[in-house]
Amino acid sequence: MPADGEAPPPPPEPAINFWGDHPATEAEYYAAHGSEGESSYFTTPDEGARRLFTRAWRPRAPAARPKALVFMVHGYGNDVSWTFQSTAVFLARSGFACFAADLPGHGRSHGLRAFVPDLDAAVADLLAFFRAVRAREENAGLPCFLFGESMGGAICLLIHLRAPPGEWAGAVLVAPMCRISDRIRPPWPLPEILTFVARFAPTAAIVPTADLIEKSVKVPAKRVVAARNPVRYNGRPRLGTVVELLRATDELASRLGEVTIPFLVLHGSADEVTDPAISQALYEAAASKDKTIKMYDGMLHSLLFGEPDENIERVRGDILAWLNERCTPPATSWNRDITVE
């Protein structure tokens, strides 16, 4: 206790890394978890020449050649440099090389924060980066998987629908935003009003929404960590972004029967951000011969960070088992049953 008249000690500074103050650097954190990583920028090859901030995570040298490449896509308002990378580090130490980029308008990539007026353009930017990585000589012949969380899951499906058949060995879809949940979707006639107003003020950050961290992250201490992300967008959604997400997810929901990629979809039954019923509809409607769905009873939206550690380990284990099986696909076709855990 301070003596009378003395000022109380200042509060501790927020941790500069999502794991805390120790280890002090990313390189040390990666090494402690059997991986190594790097960051850079990728410039898109089209006339716009946009810059995406990118990261890569690999098994720590002198590990053997990776089993496969995993191309990862984060969700709305998030980025690849905070808690998202904990999954990439896990996969890297398990033998996979992982690559990800901050979406346009997110993290350290170009663009107005959280402004995504054209999701198709964002898909094209990511696909250009992913294909540039795949074209490297050291990656020749390796299976390539997509991995997406929330909005990133929807983007993975859009990448699949816009790519030639067979380009991807499979996709891991974590609480995918195939349709915005009715629990947070603006009620009618607000979407029509937003669409009209967005023509004149697309960047206006005025759309009312629930606290996504509160609704996504179950463990209170982890909510604090998520909120400390220095590049996370915490403002209200922008009109143009909301209208585009409504358009793109409505399109995706209408095209579930066109999905042919092998996939694993994972969803918490208590998710209030994206709709687990739409993941169920994806599983039932998709034309994929190899499809697996896992519903986790009582889990929320943030399956790979916001849950208690034992739940996270269960979800990670399911992802790893699925990927490992498909690095050397069996001769028979697959059609998995629903698993409720």
Tokens 């990511």 belong to which residue? Answer: 126
Strand partners, 55: 39, 100
Q: Which of 35, 150, 216, 288 is catalytic?
A: 150
271 is catalytic: yes
Residue type, 273: V
Q: Which residues of 156-174 are buried (b: 16+ CB within 10 A; e: fewer)?
A: bbbbbeebeeebbbbbbbb
301 is catalytic: yes
Which pairs from 247-251 meet CB under 8 Å and 24+ separation? 247/119, 248/119, 248/120, 248/154, 248/158, 249/154, 249/177, 249/178, 249/179, 249/180, 250/179
Residue 102 has what DSSP assignment? P
Q: In whole angstroms, what is the distance from residue 253 CA to residue 114 CA?
A: 23
Q: Which of 106, 110, 267, 301 is catalytic?
A: 301
> So what's the pLDDT on residue 117?
92
Phi-psi region of 20 (alpha: psi -120 to 50; beta: other; left: phi over 0): left
Q: Which of 271, 275, 290, 318 is catalytic?
A: 271
How many other β-carbons are positioned within 10 Å of the β-carbon of residue 129?
Answer: 20
Residue type, 24: A
Per-residue pLDDT tens, the chain, 341 aa: give them. 444 445 555 555 566 899 988 999 999 999 999 999 999 999 998 877 899 999 999 999 888 899 999 999 999 999 999 999 999 999 999 999 999 999 999 999 999 999 999 999 999 999 999 999 999 999 999 999 999 999 999 999 999 999 998 899 999 999 999 876 666 566 666 667 777 677 888 888 877 777 889 999 999 999 999 999 999 999 998 988 988 998 899 899 999 999 999 999 999 999 999 999 999 999 999 999 999 999 999 999 999 999 999 999 999 999 999 999 999 754 444 344 444 45
Tokens 């790893």 belong to which residue? Answer: 320
Model-level pTM? Answer: 0.90
150 is catalytic: yes
> So what's the pLDDT on residue 4?
47
Give the chain's end-to-end CA distance (angstroms, integer).
48
Q: Which residues contact 227 (CB under 8 A, 6 or more apart)?
A: 213, 234
